[in-house]
Chain A
C-alpha cells in the first residue's frame, strides 16, 4: 500500500521510495524521509490538494501524487 492509502492519524513504516523521481527522492531523504522511518498522515487538503505527513518528529507537506509514490506498511 502507498502513503495516500493510509488513514489520517494512523502510523506506518516506509518500505519503498524508489518510485519517486530522483530530485524528489533526494529532497525527501535529506528531510529524513526514507525506508524504515515511521510515517503518519496528519491531514489532507481538499480537491486533491497536498498532504501533511509527520516523519521523525517533523512535519512535511507534499503533493498527493508524490505521496502516492511512497510505499508503506
Chain B
C-alpha cells in the first residue's frame, strides 16, 4: 500500500485532519533513536497509509522531534505529500510548502481554517493558488471533517507534474549548481533540494550525505556563498537570504490570490487572553483551573469511580475467581497465587485507571484548547529562576496525578537538558499513589493534624525538587543556552474524536503495563512472602521477604524504622508506592486498616512515622516511572541516576528528620 506523509506547521489542525482522514488507527511506534512517536493510519478508502509527522515550521530542524520530519523525507519511501496549510497564517505556512515542493514529490495542499481566514477578512482564490503552485489545493475544515472526500480523491489521483522551481539569485543558483555536480548521479532525492538544504545548513541532510560522499567540498561552497551574501548591501546571512526569496515569492502570490475585504475586529481569542494572561490575574486563574481539574480527578469524580472498581476487584471478581479455581480443582498454591498475588497486585494498579483517564482527558482538553501554551508563559519566570523553562511546569503538575504521564509530558520541552532535568525531578512530585501511605500513618499517629501533615509532605516534595533543580542546573546539567519561545495558538473548541483519541493514546500504556510487568512483579513478591529458606508456605517471619527485609533493617535503623517489616514494605513499594500499605497488611496479618493502625504503634513512634512517610515520598520512583524514565531518556545511566539521587536524598532527609527530631526532644 502506498504511503502519504502528512506535513504541516504546528497548530494548523494536523491532528484533526489526520483523525478525520483516517478511519481506523493503525499503530503508534517509535522512530529509531528518538522517543517521538509516529502515528500511522489508514485512509478511509482503505488503499493508502497516512503517516502523521511532528509539526514543523521548516525542514531545518531545531529539536529532536522536528528532525523526525526531515529524516522521514530522507530515509522513508512514500508516494505523496499532504501539506496542511493554515489559511489564516498563509504567509508563514507557505514557507514549508515551498521547501516541500522543492523536494519534488507529488503534493496536495489541504487549505485548512478557511473559515477563520474569512473572519479575518481574507478572501482566498483557491483555484489561483493551485495554479501558482501547480498542485491541487483542497479547502477543508479539519475540525469537523469537511472536504475529506475531495481531499481523498485528490490524494489518490495526484501525479507528478513538472517540478516546482523557485529561482534564487545568481550567487545562490551558482552554489546550487556546484553542489549538485558533487552529488552522485544515483542519489535518490532531488539534487536541487539537497543542495538547497545544504545551503540552509540542515544537519540532517549533512548526515544523510556524509554516508555517501565527502562533505568538505559542499561545506566549503556553503561557507564561500555565505561570505558573498554577507557582502551584499543587506548584510543578511545565507539562511535569511533564502528565506527572503521565498518570502518575496509568497508575497507576490498572495498579492494575486488574497483579497482583503475588511480590517479584522478583536477576536475572542484576544478577549480570553486579556483575562487569562493578565499580569496579575494570570497566576490565580491558572491555580483555580488546576484546583478544579485535580478535585475532579481525585475527589469529586475519580475517587468514587476508583472505589467502585476497588470494590469490584475485592468483591465479585475475587469471589468469582475463587469459585472458578475451586471448581477447576486448582491447588491451594495456585489459588493463593491468583487471589493474593495477581488480583491484589494487578488490581491495585487497575483501580487507578478511572483517575488516570480523567486526568488525561483534562490534559488533552488543555492541549487541544490552546491554554497549555499560556500556562507555560505564566509560569516561565519562576521556572527560569531554578534553571528550567515554562514548558517544564506542565509535566510537574501532571506528576501530582501520576509520575508516569508527567515524565511523558516532558516531551514538549525542546532543549534536551531542560527536558532531562524535568524528567529527573518529576518523581519528587507526590503522586496520588503515595496518598494511601500517608493516610494510613497520619490516621495512626497524627489524628489531630492529618491535613497539615499530609500537606507538609507535598510541600517537602516541591521544595526538594526546586532546590535540586537549582543544584543540578548549576552543576551536572548546565544549560549552555536556555531559550523559551512558544507560539500561543488561537483558542479552539476541542473536538470529541480528537479528545478521545488523545486521551486513549496517553492512557493505554498504563493499562498495558498493568498486564505486563506489574503482573510479573506481583507474582514475584507474593512468591517471596510465600516461600522461605525452609520451603513453601512458611510463616511470614521465615519467608524470603523477611530475610531480604532483614538485610535492610540495620541500614534503616538510623532513620527510626529499622525493622524487617519496614524494609520489606519499602522494597515492595518500588512496585508501586501504594503497595507499601498492602504489604504491611500482609506482613502484620491484619485484615483492615483500623487494626493495622493500632498494631503499628508498637513498631513506630510519631517521629519515626513521619520519617518513614518522608522516605516513601522521596525514595526511588516506582517501577512504572522508572520504566518510563528509561524509555523517555533512552539512557540507562540517567535512569540509574534518577534512582540513586532519590535514594540518597530520601536517606539524608529522613535521617535529618529523625535525628533532628530526637535532638529536639520529639519522639
Contacts and interface: CB of A to CB of B under 8 A. Distances in A.
Contacts of A57: 88-89, 120
Contacts of A58: 89, 92, 487-488
A58 B390 CA distance: 20
Interface in A38-73: 42-50, 52, 56-63, 66
Nearest to A47: B381
B486 A60 contact: yes
B381 A46 contact: yes
A50 B62 contact: no
Contacts of A62: 484-486
B446 interface: no
B89 A46 contact: no
Given A45-B282, A57-B88, A50 B57 contact: no
Interface in B357-392: 373, 376-378, 380-381, 384, 390
A28 B62 CA distance: 11
A34 B381 contact: no
B239 A26 contact: yes
B488 A61 contact: yes
Interface in B381-430: 381, 384, 390
B240 interface: yes
A47 B486 CA distance: 19
Interface in B253-289: 269-270, 273, 277-280, 282
B121 to A, nearest CB: 10
B582 interface: no
A27 B61 CA distance: 9
Contacts of A34: 240, 243, 247
A50 B381 contact: yes
A61 B377 contact: yes
B91 interface: yes
Given A43-B277, A45-B380, A49-B381, A24 B487 contact: no
A29 B240 contact: yes
Contacts of B273: 42-43, 52, 59
Given A30-B95, A34-B240, A63 B380 contact: yes
Contacts of B247: 34
Nearest to A20: B483
Contacts of A31: 57, 92, 485, 487
B250 to A, nearest CB: 11
B60 interface: yes
A46 B58 contact: no
A61 B485 CA distance: 6
A61 B373 contact: yes
Interface string B203-214: 000000000000
A32 B91 contact: yes
A30 B373 CA distance: 18
A66 B481 CA distance: 12
Contacts of A61: 373, 376-377, 380, 484-488
Contacts of B239: 26, 29
Contacts of A27: 57, 62, 483, 485
B484 A59 contact: no
Interface hub of A47, A61, A62 (most chain B Cβ within 10 A): A61
A52 B377 contact: yes
A61 B384 CA distance: 14
Nearest to A50: B380
Interface size class of A (residues with CB under 8 A): 20 to 34
Contacts of A42: 270, 273, 277
B490 to A, nearest CB: 8
Contact of B280 (A23, A46, A56): A46
Interface in B424-473: none
Contacts of A32: 89, 91-92
Given A31-B57, A61-B373, A61-B377, A46 B384 contact: no
A52 B488 CA distance: 9
B62 A23 contact: yes
A61 B380 CA distance: 10
B60 A45 contact: no
Contacts of B490: 59
A60 B279 contact: no
Contacts of B269: 59
Given A50-B377, A56-B91, A66 B485 contact: yes
B89 A26 contact: no
Interface hub of B280, B380, B490 (most chain A Cβ within 10 A): B380
Contact of A50 (B88, B92, B240, B390): B390
Interface of A: 18, 21, 23-24, 26-32, 34, 42-50, 52, 56-63, 66
Given A57-B88, A57-B120, 9 more contacts: A24-B483, A26-B60, A26-B62, A27-B485, A30-B92, A43-B277, A56-B92, A60-B486, A66-B484
Interface of B: 57-58, 60, 62, 88-89, 91-92, 95, 120, 235, 239-240, 243, 247, 269-270, 273, 277-280, 282, 373, 376-378, 380-381, 384, 390, 481, 483-488, 490
13 contacts: A27-B485, A31-B485, A32-B89, A32-B91, A42-B277, A46-B381, A50-B377, A52-B277, A57-B89, A58-B89, A58-B488, A61-B486, A62-B485
